[in-house]
Structure 1
Amino acid sequence: MANYKAKGEELADEVRDWAVLPTDILNLIISRLYFPAEISRFHGVCTAWKSVPAPLVRSQWLMSKPPIGTRLNFFHPLYCKPYSMEIPELEFAKVRFSKDGWLLMSDGDINFFYNPFTRAKVELPNLPQGYNGLFKNNRFKMMTFTAPPTSSDCAVFGVNSLFDEVICISTIVRGEGSWKICRFQNNVPMFPSPCSPVICNGLLYCLGRDGKLGVFDREEGKWTVLDKPEKAPFNSVYENFLMECEGDIMSVFVGTEGFKRCAKVSVCRLDRLKMEWQEIKELGDKMLFLSDSTCLSATSHIPGMENKIYFPVLPRLHGRYGVFYTLATGMHQTFGIDFWSTDLGDTRELLNCSWIEPRDGTYSETQLDWLKNP
């Protein structure tokens, strides 16, 4: 009996040791945790661990989801530690845009916000059936929003187009019960790119496949295809992307050389005086994250991640490492493995994906009700 008691006391001492780990060790452990759920479990170990502050550096993850399926997969360009979660209610949902930890999603004709890290959901009012008379269903081709759906500043934009002649832009603001639908005849032919539109200085910008820009002023209800810029920096554009960076409009044009995909990459800033795309050769401490649903810029807080463009692709043989384009070398590379290429031929592109920044939080029922003032 004495031996059993002694072993029990030794075990109790070992358990207590977890609560008295040095602070630098605890800080090291929590610095390796990236998702809110992991940090929450860390803080739940004991009171001492709960007092350790979470890391302040936030980073973008590439989230992908099959068109029909419940698993969300997350990949980080730097860390070779993928993360996944099962969310049954998103089985048929499609990702439309991401911002501040929230996904804007659609399930058939239904549009809603979803935070995968808190499982919080905000449903949007339905569009009227056959709302524009131009398309077979009520599904937008591109969407974006201005602020988290729990904010009174949140406005949602949905865009559809008919060839290069007609565009339909629908908007709804937090607290409103119905969409405002505007249909325009293009003053200049423009076929919108499938990339997400961008909101900058209160205006909505849409990028054309040929490099043109269309601008929508929600306050005035006015749409204009600008005379300039007239074209992309080169002719063989495979795809293009649009984003806002500290008040500037930026674009990335990706071209082909023969059968080589993404062999040309051009980063441009809109010169507002000349109204033309001005090619830039370096991003400084900035990073660009690209996908059809979400394009964004961010300041790097992790050495080595700056001056790069992160694509929604993974190497075919090493599916845990994200691919980026380095402006300094003109090469496509990855962290962690020896992957260097002048194009993206030996990679696979993730569909139904978006860049997202994990964020935790709690929300009241009022905040999660679109029609109520938060």
Structure 2
Amino acid sequence: MYIINPFTGDIVEMAILDWEYNFMGLSWSSMDPESPDCIFFAVNSRQDGKAVGALTWRHGEAKWFERHLEYYEGDPFSVAYNNPVLSHDKFYCLGRKGNLGTFDPASDTWTILEKPNPIHVEMDLEGDHHEGREFCYLVELRGELVSVFMRNADQPPRVFKLNEEEMAWTKVQDIGGAALFVDFRVSYSVVSPKAGHGNRMYFPSYSEDGKQAAFYDMETKAYHPSFYGLKSPLQCVWVVPNLRPHTVSK
């Protein structure tokens, strides 16, 4: 199992996961994954949310350390296919219902938050496979957590911002001129992009038949292109390149 920087060629080799990459999300605690202090965190769950696995790995360790938690009597937490977001020194994980779980690496504890309340309150975790699963995303924007729920290109995505004072999701109609690039592999935000590309959400390709829009414009309230037929590779991921010039010594 590796983390590869496609621009520098740097590779971080991690211990292999015993259950063959069966995780919903993976993240790490440092901008530099090669740092000896970096903590790697992976999370998975049963589809019905009655069991959650929280795993950590550090440089030099021979294997991942797993914490297995069961929720047969309490409220279940079905983890969405989305990478955790590191915020306030904790890993935040989005549930398929729109609730949140956190892992605190300092205290080594996993917590299902009582608030915010779920967005899909009545969702049948074992019934509706589509809603709140492949098409829900968590991303940090200007230090705040934002969740995006997209069902298909016939319905506008729903965007929520976490009000940390009230610990409640607030539905928003714009994102302050920013742009969101979302995918279950990785999501990130760009604050106030230029050239009229703000208030947009860019989505990955989900199918090979081309029936998927490229982005949603929150100002025009429409997907673009407005016609179906756009095709792009399925095996792709959003990246943020470092295009700063480098000085080469001779």
Same fold (TM over 0.5): yes
In structure 2, the CA distance between the partners of 1:331 and 1:115, relative to structure 1 (3 Å rule), is same
Deviations 1:98-132 (A, max 9, x none): xxxxxxxxxxxxx11112223222211334x4xxx
Partner of 2:238: 355
Deviations 1:80-114 (A, max 9, x none): xxxxxxxxxxxxxxxxxxxxxxxxxxxxxxx1111
Partner of 1:205: 92
Partner of 2:214: 323
Tell me whether 1:225 sits opposite 2:112 in the alignment: yes
Partner of 1:162: 46
Residues 314, 323 of structure 1: 8 Å contact kept: no
1:172 to 34, 57, 65: 57
Which has more helix, going by share of residues?
A: 1
Cα offset, 1:360, TM superposition: 7.3
Which has more strand, going by share of residues?
A: 1
Partner of 2:34: 150
Residues 212, 226 of structure 1: 8 Å contact kept: yes
Percentage identity across aligned positions? 28
Q: How many residues align?
A: 231
Cα offset, 1:232, TM superposition: 1.9
Partner of 1:340: 226
Partner of 2:24: 141
**Which segments of 5 or more consecutive residues in structure 2 lack a partner in the other structure?**
124-129, 245-250
CA distance in 2, matches of 1:140, 1:244: 21
Residues 185-200 of structure 1 correspond to what in structure 2 (within 5 A)? Answer: 185-186=70-71, 187-200=74-87
Deviations 1:53-80 (A, max 9, x none): xxxxxxxxxxxxxxxxxxxxxxxxxxxx
Tell me whether 1:310 sits opposite 2:202 in the alignment: yes
Residues 291, 353 of structure 1: 8 Å contact kept: no
Cα offset, 1:177, TM superposition: 4.4
Matched letter for residue 340 of structure 1: S
In structure 2, the CA distance between the partners of 1:240 and 1:166, relative to structure 1 (3 Å rule), is same
2:180 to 271, 281, 288: 288
In structure 2, the CA distance between the partners of 1:137 and 1:114, relative to structure 1 (3 Å rule), is closer
Q: Which has the larger radius of gyration?
A: 1
Q: What TM-score comes out, normalization by structure 2 length?
A: 0.79
CA distance in 2, matches of 1:360, 1:152: 26
CA distance in 2, matches of 1:233, 1:306: 28
Cα offset, 1:242, TM superposition: 0.6
Structure 1 residue ranges, 4+ long, deviating more than 6 angstroms after superposition: 233-236, 314-319
Q: Give the alignment's Cα RMSD to 1 decimal.
A: 3.1
Deviations 1:177-205 (A, max 9, x none): 44332222244212111121211111111
Name the SS for the 2:219 alignment partner.
Answer: coil
CA distance in 1, matches of 2:234, 2:242: 23
More off after superposition, 209-218 vs 307-316: 307-316
Cα offset, 1:348, TM superposition: 4.7
CA distance in 1, matches of 2:185, 2:207: 21
Cα offset, 1:162, TM superposition: 2.2
Cα offset, 1:355, TM superposition: 0.6
Residues 293, 354 of structure 1: 8 Å contact kept: yes
Residues 206, 214 of structure 1: 8 Å contact kept: yes
**Which segments of 5 or more consecutive residues in structure 1 lack a partner in the other structure?**
1-110, 130-135, 334-338, 362-374
Relative contact order higher in (CA < 8 Å, ≥ 6 apart) = 1
Name the SS for the 2:114 alignment partner.
Answer: coil
CA distance in 2, matches of 1:208, 1:161: 10
Cα offset, 1:224, TM superposition: 1.8
Cα offset, 1:317, TM superposition: 9.6
Residues 51, 70 of structure 2: 8 Å contact kept: yes
CA distance in 2, matches of 1:274, 1:218: 24
Partner of 1:118: 8
